[in-house]
Amino acid sequence: MQRRILFVILSLVVTIGTVFMPTMDSSEVQAASEYANLEKSINSIMSDSRMKAINSSVTVRKASTGEIVYQSDADKKITPASTLKLLTSAAALDTLGEEYRFTTEVLTDGTISKGVLNGNLYVRGQGDPTLLKADLDQFAVQLKKQGITKITGNLVGDDYWFDNVRLSPSIDKTDETHYYAAQITGLTLSPNKDYDAGTVIVEAAPTKKGYKAKVKLTPETGILKVVNRTNTVSKGSKNTLSIKRQSGTNNIIISGNVPVGSSGKKEWVTVSNPTAYTLDVFKKSLASKGIKFNPSSVVKRGLSPSEGQVLATKKSMPLKDLMKPFMKLSNNTHAEILAKTMGRQKYGEGSWNAGLRVMREFADSFGLDSSAWRFEDASGMSHSNKVTSAQMTELLFLVRSAPWYASFVQGLPVAGANERFVGGTLRNRLTSPLVKGKVIAKTGSLNRVNSLAGYAETKDGETLIFSILTQDQKTSTIPLIDKIATVIATSVH
């Protein structure tokens, strides 16, 4: 059933330092003709030879009414890159709710007697991207408090909350090593509070000249095999270090020269099989607390018993708080986990097919035209994803009337704000005093694709909604996109 979103005037008082947060404009409705200077300025940028040589779609709307005040090929379908996450986050907040939390449980099918757990130990996941080694350490502490010092059975990872497809269609072999293309499983682990789930931080540092670099993994795990082909060279020499995971394996190949006195190199590297990675780190946590397994015990994947005894539980931060690491840092893994979670929640199937179906149905019910949106993932990684700037700005208009709008908007990067979890992917852009803090928007970037979509506060305090989508460029269009955003933020009508 179509759900019609009625415009209501919202007044949100959200303070992040001195950062601008858009609210509904209650001023009198102004005619679009009064934006002639805005139109002239943007048209000047659009006539730049670099813009004329590519495909683009630009729309600007009034936040108060949704009225379009500027458009250039507004209905042309362009690859949105990570601005697709605007739809993903809105659908997730609407479908799952702001207070949704991921749950991870440790349970057993056995009994505890005289310090011995006679049975298997299971870890059952729901895809929590915020699970850390510290949480696994806490699980071990809780088991120790229950008197457990020995486990006779196996350590079993239950990741069946999601299906077995770990990579979205757009990921190829060259992507697989990189943090932005982590495998999606129901049981995964993040190395730090950036929450790049399914990755390990690999650091290579210089030692003595002629010796190999020193390698450190965070967290420590035996699931990865480090192949060290490095050489420490003289101070001032070129750093040629490379850190990559070999496709289809858990072999980390580290090669190249590292100069004495340099900082070396640090990379977030994906693991093949995040479930096995999580279990390996957890087993180390148990061992550190004096909890041992029988020599015959194995670590494996399997279903946990529905009636098992729950020994420890961890709930993630609520979804409204996850919006910051997700959207500020444009976390692809979070997007894909949320898609599968939506599918699981609504259709009992933690798959991309089910999750993307939920997103399409959300678009239709929300008042969008889902036929103008094409996507095969939830993160925006695929070049096959397409949308129009008219639809992107329509989404940004409609969300302002949603009860979860405050959670949605506080996740967006703020132009020129230095703090990573405020400025996010816009912290080093639009830093001029004229626009700093005046633009909050989602960035997007792929090979030959750049985009920006969000809100801008004009000189006279009006909020405008904009979407700038570009593709097929030979060089980055970010400078031109930022020029358009600056025109919008400094406009007067």
CATH code where residue 285 lies: 3.50.80.20
**Is 243 a member of any domain?**
yes
Domain end among 315, 346, 380: 315
Do both 423 and 466 map to the same domain?
Answer: yes
Q: What does the pLDDT read at residue 33?
A: 63
Distance in angstroms (rounded) separating the CA atoms of residues 230 and 232: 7
Do both 398 and 429 map to the same domain?
Answer: yes
Do both 263 and 279 map to the same domain?
Answer: no
Do both 379 and 449 map to the same domain?
Answer: yes
Do both 50 and 74 map to the same domain?
Answer: yes
Q: What does the pLDDT read at residue 57?
A: 98
**Is 81 a member of any domain?**
yes
Do both 441 and 299 map to the same domain?
Answer: no
Do both 338 and 411 map to the same domain?
Answer: yes
**Is 179 a member of any domain?**
no
**Is 208 a member of any domain?**
yes
Q: What does the pLDDT read at residue 174?
A: 86
Do both 444 and 363 map to the same domain?
Answer: yes
Cα atoms in the Cβ-side hemisphere of radius 13 Å centred on 493? 26
CATH code, 433: 3.40.710.10
The pLDDT tens digits for 345-354 are 999 999 999 9
The pLDDT tens digits for 146-186 are 999 999 999 999 999 999 999 998 888 889 999 999 999 99
**Is 72 a member of any domain?**
yes
Concatenated DSSP letters for 256-324? EEEETTS--EEEEEE-S-HHHHHHHHHHHHHHHTT-EE-TT--EEE-PPPTTPEEEEEEE---HHHHHI
Distance in angstroms (rounded) separating the CA atoms of residues 337 and 331: 10
- CA 392-394-396 angle, to 5 degrees, is 75
Query: Are 330 and 85 contacting, i.e. CB atoms less than 8 angstroms apart?
Result: yes
Q: What does the pLDDT read at residue 32?
A: 52
Q: How far is CA 177 from CA 183, 214, 253, 380, in A?
A: 10, 20, 10, 18
Question: Strand 225-233 vs strand 214-218: parallel, antiparallel, or unpaired?
Answer: unpaired
Domain count, the chain: 3
**Is 184 a member of any domain?**
no
Do both 373 and 476 map to the same domain?
Answer: yes
Domain end among 315, 348, 381: 315
Phi, psi for 281 (deg, rounded to 5): -65, -40
Do both 401 and 330 map to the same domain?
Answer: yes
Distance in angstroms (rounded) separating the CA atoms of residues 423 and 403: 24
Do both 355 and 473 map to the same domain?
Answer: yes
Q: Which two tokens stand for residue 298?
A: 């194995």
**Is 464 a member of any domain?**
yes
Domain end among 285, 315, 345: 315
Query: Are 302 and 215 contacting, i.e. CB atoms less than 8 angstroms apart?
Result: no
pLDDT, one tens digit for every residue, the chain (493 residues):
444 433 333 333 333 333 344 443 433 333 456 799 999 999 999 999 999 999 999 999 999 999 999 999 999 999 999 999 999 999 999 999 999 999 999 999 999 999 999 999 999 999 999 999 999 999 999 999 999 999 999 999 999 999 999 999 888 888 999 999 999 999 999 999 999 999 999 999 999 999 999 999 999 999 999 999 999 999 999 999 999 999 889 999 999 999 999 999 999 999 999 999 999 999 999 999 999 999 999 999 999 999 999 999 999 999 999 999 999 999 999 999 999 999 999 999 999 999 999 999 999 999 999 999 999 999 999 999 999 999 999 999 999 999 999 999 999 999 999 999 999 999 999 999 999 999 999 999 999 999 999 999 999 999 999 999 999 999 999 999 999 999 999 998 7
**Which residues carry out catalysis?**
82, 85, 330
**Is 363 a member of any domain?**
yes
Domain that holds residue 297: 103-164+273-315
Distance in angstroms (rounded) separating the CA atoms of residues 298 and 317: 32
Do both 359 and 453 map to the same domain?
Answer: yes
